[in-house]
């Protein structure tokens, strides 16, 4: 039997952990609307300005693969301290960027260092909880984190109303500095020495290979990250489709984007309530089927005649389905690999970043008037999400409300 974790997840600690996972949505959504201004101000092309988003995603992927397995050996808190300091300095560097090349590089380091908190927040929850509590706290984490994409475009639009794209990075620097301060004050080590991986630093990276060989982890992890691919196709294409094609102003787009993000918040809240009452796998199946049907509907609508109101309704339903998928799939995946929580969390996050990096250019395919690539990309990832889930092995208790707790208890006894 494993030793109890040193870290207690209080409501305040959960908020701090959620702030760490908010780096990605804040780092992306706050400045999306300012991409044209960046290309103009730095005297570059729109495609090169878009690389500031790509480099951020690539940095996140590399950073997560680097830090997750290492944290299984040296603990969570020391690498977390390094990550929050570097991400704050990287955001400040973005503010001072004299060229687009400098901004691309700064965004890479911002993504890489910011990913430390994303990986380690999930690992800390896994270290510190058992049974259905893991699923509940994952749902709460997703719910709190869901407010980030709601608030980020609103904050970004507000800042742009009186400032420039550089002002957005000042706001991000302040947020990250406050998050770093909270980490130093409120977080403690969650992985006891006796539960850490032994051997050399390099040997700890074998954990990546070990967790990917676990069929149920692999299936649930792919369900989560491919579902993210559908969401990111919407995020990447929504600026063009909603503003350029459907005629929304920058302010209207900001409000629509924020309202749509409430779908993730609402469904994550529902998942938290239903855990222990409804099987997590049942909720996940419902979310995946909903995502698939909505993606089919979007593709049909776009191919016949793209219209504003039906498009807005379907995009909102997309975020609702993703809210059901993220909480359940991530909790079901992570519970398979408690003994290598850092490696499992990092692989999940890294593959998610790769999927996001693939989705973005796919949406941009076609000529200046093309909006079908967004629909086809969303549909493609939705189909892959369904394939990932429905090929994931079923375990005893998967379809019962107590199943997750029983499985987690048995897994915990093996550690």
Q: Which two tokens stand for residue 274?
A: 């239903």
**Residue 357 pLDDT more than 80?**
no
Average pLDDT, the chain: 84
When pLDDT is cut at 50, 70 and 90, the band that residue 415 belongs to is very low
Residue 213 falls within a domain, yes or no? yes
Q: CA-to-CA distance for 174 and 161, rounded, in angstroms?
A: 19
Task: Phi first, then psi: give them for residue 361, nearest 5 degrees.
Answer: -70, -30
Q: Give the integer Cα–Cα distance in Å for 238 and 232.
A: 10
Closest by alpha carbon to 135, among 401, 384, 413, 414? 401
The Cα 221–Cα 297 span in angstroms is: 26
Query: Which of 3-12, 47-56, 373-382, 405-414 shows the lowest mean pLDDT across its residues?
Result: 405-414
Look up the CATH number of the domain holding residue 168: 1.20.1250.20
pLDDT of residue 130: 73
Confidence at residue 403, expressed as pLDDT on a 0 to 100 scale: 56
Number of domains in the chain: 1
pLDDT for 413 equals 42
* DSSP annotation string for 170-216: HHHHHHHHHHHHHHHHH----S-GGGSPPS-HHHHTHHHHHHHT-HH
Q: What angle do CA 318, 323, 329 make, to 5 degrees?
A: 115
Query: Of 275, 287, 279, 360, which Cα lies nearest the Cα of 317?
Result: 287
Q: Which two tokens stand for residue 275?
A: 């855990």
Q: Which of 6-20, 190-204, 228-242, 396-410 is least confident?
A: 396-410
Q: What is the pLDDT of residue 57?
A: 81
Distance CA 186, CA 22 (A): 17
What are the residues whose beta carbons fall under 8 Å from the beta carbon of 153, sequence distance 6 or more?
29, 30, 32, 33, 253, 254, 257, 258
> Tens digit of pLDDT for each residue in 264-320?
888 888 888 888 788 889 999 999 999 999 999 999 999 998 889 999 999 999 999
| SS3 at position 286 | helix
Does residue 200 form part of some domain?
Answer: no
Is position 193 within any domain?
no
Q: CA angle at residue 131 from 183 to 193, to 5 degrees?
A: 50
Q: What is the pLDDT of residue 401?
A: 65
User: Is residue 349 one of the residues assigned to a domain?
Assistant: yes
**Could you tell me the residue range of the domain that residue 355 belongs to?**
11-186+205-408
Among positive and negative, which fits the CA dihedral 396, 399, 404, 406? negative
CA distance 78 to 101: 31
**Alpha-carbon torsion angle 342, 348, 354, 357, nearest 10:** -110
pLDDT digits over 23-74, tens only?
Answer: 877 888 788 778 888 988 999 887 788 889 888 988 988 898 888 888 888 8
pLDDT at 29: 78
Report the predicted TM-score, pTM, of the whole model to 2 decimal places. 0.78
Question: 275 has which bridge partners?
Answer: 278
Does residue 198 lie in a domain region? no
Q: Where do the H-state alpha helices sit in 308-371?
A: 308-334, 341-363
C-alpha dihedral sign at 227, 341, 81, 143: positive
pLDDT of residue 145: 67
160-167 long-range contacts, CB within 8 A, separation 24+: 160/33, 160/34, 160/37, 160/250, 164/34, 164/37, 164/41, 165/31, 165/34, 165/37, 165/38, 165/41, 166/95
Other Cβ atoms closer than 10 A to 47: 11
Specify if 192 maps to a domain.
no
On whether the CB atoms of residues 126 and 334 are closer than 8 A, the answer is yes
Quote helix, strand, coil % in the chain, to nearest 5.
80, 0, 20
In a domain, 178, yes or no: yes
2 part of a folded domain: no
């Amino acid at each position: 039997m494993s030793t109890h974790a040193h870290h207690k997840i209080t409501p305040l600690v959960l908020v701090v952990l959620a702030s760490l996972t908010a780096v990605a949505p804040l780092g992306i959504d706050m400045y999306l609307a300012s991409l044209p201004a960046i290309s103009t101000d730095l005297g570059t092309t729109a495609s090169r300005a878009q690389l500031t988003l790509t480099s951020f995603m690539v940095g996140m992927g590399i950073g997560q693969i680097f830090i997750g397995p290492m944290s299984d050996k040296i603990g969570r808190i020391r690498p977390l301290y390094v990550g929050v300091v570097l991400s704050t300095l990287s955001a400040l560097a973005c503010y001072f960027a004299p060229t687009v090349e400098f901004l691309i590089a700064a965004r890479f380091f911002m993504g890489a260092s910011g990913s430390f908190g994303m990986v380690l927040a999930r690992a800390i929850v896994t270290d510190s909880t058992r049974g259905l509590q893991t699923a509940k706290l994952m749902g709460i984490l997703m719910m709190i984190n869901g407010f980030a994409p709601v608030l980020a475009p609103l904050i970004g639009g507000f800042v742009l109303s009186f400032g420039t794209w550089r002002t957005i990075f000042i706001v991000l620097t302040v947020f990250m500095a406050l998050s770093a301060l909270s980490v130093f004050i409120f977080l403690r080590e969650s992985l006891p020495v006796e539960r850490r991986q032994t051997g050399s630093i390099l040997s700890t990276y074998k954990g990546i290979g070990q967790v990917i060989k676990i069929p149920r982890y692999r299936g649930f992890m792919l369900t989560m990250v491919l579902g993210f691919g559908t969401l990111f196709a919407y995020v990447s294409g929504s600026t063009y489709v909603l503003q350029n094609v459907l005629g929304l102003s920058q302010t209207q787009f900001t409000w629509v984007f924020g309202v749509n993000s409430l779908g993730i918040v609402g469904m994550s809240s529902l998942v938290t309530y239903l855990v222990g009452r409804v099987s997590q796998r049942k909720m996940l199946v419902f979310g995946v089927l909903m995502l698939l049907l909505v993606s089919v509907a979007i593709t049909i609508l776009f191919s016949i005649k793209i219209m504003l109101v039906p498009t807005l309704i379907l995009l909102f339903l997309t975020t609702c389905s993703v809210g059901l998928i993220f909480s359940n799939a991530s909790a079901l995946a992570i519970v398979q690999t408690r003994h290598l929580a850092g490696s499992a969390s990092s692989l999940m996050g890294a593959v998610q970043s790769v999927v996001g990096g693939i989705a973005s250019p796919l949406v941009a395919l076609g000529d200046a008037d093309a909006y079908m690539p967004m629909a086809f990309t969303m549909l493609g990832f939705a189909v892959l999400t369904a394939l990932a889930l429905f090929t994931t092995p079923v375990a005893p208790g998967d379809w019962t409300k107590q199943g997750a707790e029983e499985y987690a208890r048995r897994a915990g006894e093996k550690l």
